[in-house]
Chain A
Amino acid sequence: MTSAQSAAAPRVGAADAGPASDSGVAGDAIVEIRDLYYGVGHRQIFEGLDITIRRGRITAIMGPSGTGKTTLLRLITGQILPDKGTIVVDGQNLAHLGRKGLFDLRKRMGMLFQNGALLTDLDVFENVAFPLREHTDLPERLIRHIVLTKLHAVGLRGAAQMAPGELSGGMARRVALARAMVMDPGMLIYDEPFAGLDPISLGVVLRLIRQMNDALGITSIVVSHDVQEISTVADDSYLLAEGRVVASGSPKELHASKSEIVRQFMSGMADGPVPFHYPAPDYTEQLLAREKK
């Protein structure tokens, strides 16, 4: 499929304002990905990907495991470079940014990693204070004030002196969220923020994503395959499969879609356009074969 096709095909619920193909969206866009190709070894992960993420909204990137959602985040944050295509973030083409330009851009972003990625040699307080200490000359009293404010926002002010190893998965994720927002970024990126969370922590994280977006007017990009959870907070969503966008629109539009692949993903059917089985030789032949392989 060509890039033009992939850009045209995915739109769901054409009547409503959607994320990718609207005219007049370009000026409002904080991330624009055009005709993106990226592969690792012989495996092509993206083939002509087009995505537009609008400023001030919560955009969900969804898709089955292995479709390259985390890779997409790494591309957006400049951790890896595409083989072909352009990625423009906040008006800056990542391909033309030097190391300093990239670091300046990252100072305006916050990222929540799947596992929290807290620095294990620092306690909770110092983890949240880390970006402030590295990038500012603020007095210690002000740093303390900011850190405690952010920890209070995620409900973990009381855990300030704890070591990362003493935290549960949900607590670590919330501390990482406090760290991600300590520099008051314009864009927050969440990589699988709901994975492995208990219902209470999950509810807390969902509420925090929505509240921060509304209160601070930031842009949020949430990569997840937890359809139900992400649907409750996302304004826009993209569904990735087979290296391209197979559908986009509001979560409501995606739920109402007649597309087989969208229905399979949104309702969690085991088999469909996205096969349950990884490509393999004939089952019977393989069972009857004498050799191990």
Chain B
Amino acid sequence: MIGVAQDLWLSLRRALETLGSMGLFLGRMLAYIPSALLRFDLVVAQIFNAGALSLVIIMLCGLFIGMVLGLLGVDLLQRVGSEDALGAGAALSLVKELGPVTTSLLFAGRAGTALASEIGLMRATDQLSAMQMMAVDPVKRVCVPRFLGGVISMPLLAVIFSAIGIFGTQLIGVQVMSVDAGAFWSQMRAAVELQDVMEGVVKSFAFGIACSLIAVYEGFNAIPTAEGVGRATTRTVVISSVATLILDYILTAVML
């Protein structure tokens, strides 16, 4: 029993230490953001890497999740005789919840792992040490543009995910299962307000900060071996996914 308590205490302490170290790392990156914005070409390249290269997977998943919503939504709403509310229900769930959360989980799996492994490999192959020897701070040159690229990409990806998702719902609900098109779109327009859209944008922005920070931090602090880089990549996916869901609950509770 005492052993279990000690293990728990050690795990908690380690988690708090990591959180503190991550906070300091974030502070260091924030201090470099003004100078990073002056070299925006580096950030644009990372928006391409994290955002544009994730587009296909985001659009594909958005389409299929929207189609599933269409199928299940029609089935459920028909039972209570209100299938006309399909558009409003799907749009609200996509914009406020499914869009930001699923995008964040997909981002962690694609862009997050790519970031962590890329920076980890740079550490393992002495590229970060070489930068330091050239009097260039790797946090400024490598981490900050990648962090900003992720933070900027995430809300854009979430918006695209939601839009494609609504298209998927419409495809199944209206085109296949004969829900009235006019009712679908008009109910959606009546139900979805700017505040709902902003809620989704705020969430995806917060997820973007969390996922990008975790990926960059894990890569930068990876043990410089093949195993260490692999572990950093795995930790990126696991921690980002858990952080996304915890943050989602907190933000939903705050913005209700």
Chain A residues near B (Cβ < 8 Å): 77, 79, 103-104, 106-107, 109-111, 113-115, 117-121, 130-131, 134-135, 176, 179, 183
If A103-B137, A111-B133, A121-B118 are given as contacts, then 10 extra A-B residue pairs at C-beta distance below 8 Å, sorted by A number, are: A106-B134, A110-B133, A115-B126, A117-B126, A118-B127, A119-B130, A120-B121, A130-B134, A131-B135, A183-B134
Report whether B133 and A109 are in contact in the complex, using a CB–CB cutoff of 8 Å.
Answer: yes
A118 to B122 alpha-carbon distance, docked (Å) = 9
B129-169 vs A, CB cutoff 8 Å, 1 = contact: the mask equals 11111111100010000000000000000000000000000
A144 to B135 alpha-carbon distance, docked (Å) = 21
- Chain A residues with Cβ below 8 Å from B141 are 134
Most buried by A among B118, B122, B131, B136: B136
The binding surface of chain B is classed by DSSP as helix
- Chain B residues with Cβ below 8 Å from A120 are 121-122, 125, 127
Report whether B126 and A131 are in contact in the complex, using a CB–CB cutoff of 8 Å.
Answer: no
Give the residue of A111, A115, A179, A183 whose beta carbon is less than 8 angstroms from that of B125.
A115
- Chain B residues with Cβ below 8 Å from A106 are 132-135
Q: A115-B125, A117-B125, A120-B122 are in contact. Are A107 and B130 (CB under 8 A)?
A: no
Report whether A107 and B135 are in contact in the complex, using a CB–CB cutoff of 8 Å.
Answer: yes
B118's nearest neighbour on chain A, judged by CB, is A121
Most buried by B among A104, A120, A134, A179: A134
A108 to chain B, nearest CB (A): 9
A278 to chain B, nearest CB (A): 21
B49's nearest neighbour on chain A, judged by CB, is A121
Report whether B133 and A77 are in contact in the complex, using a CB–CB cutoff of 8 Å.
Answer: yes
Report whether A104 and B122 are in contact in the complex, using a CB–CB cutoff of 8 Å.
Answer: no
A134 to B131 alpha-carbon distance, docked (Å) = 10
- Chain B residues with Cβ below 8 Å from A118 are 127, 130
A106 to B121 alpha-carbon distance, docked (Å) = 23
Pairs A–B under 8 Å by Cβ, sample size 18: A79-B132, A103-B137, A106-B132, A106-B133, A107-B135, A111-B130, A111-B133, A113-B133, A115-B126, A117-B126, A117-B130, A119-B122, A119-B127, A131-B134, A131-B135, A134-B134, A134-B141, A176-B130
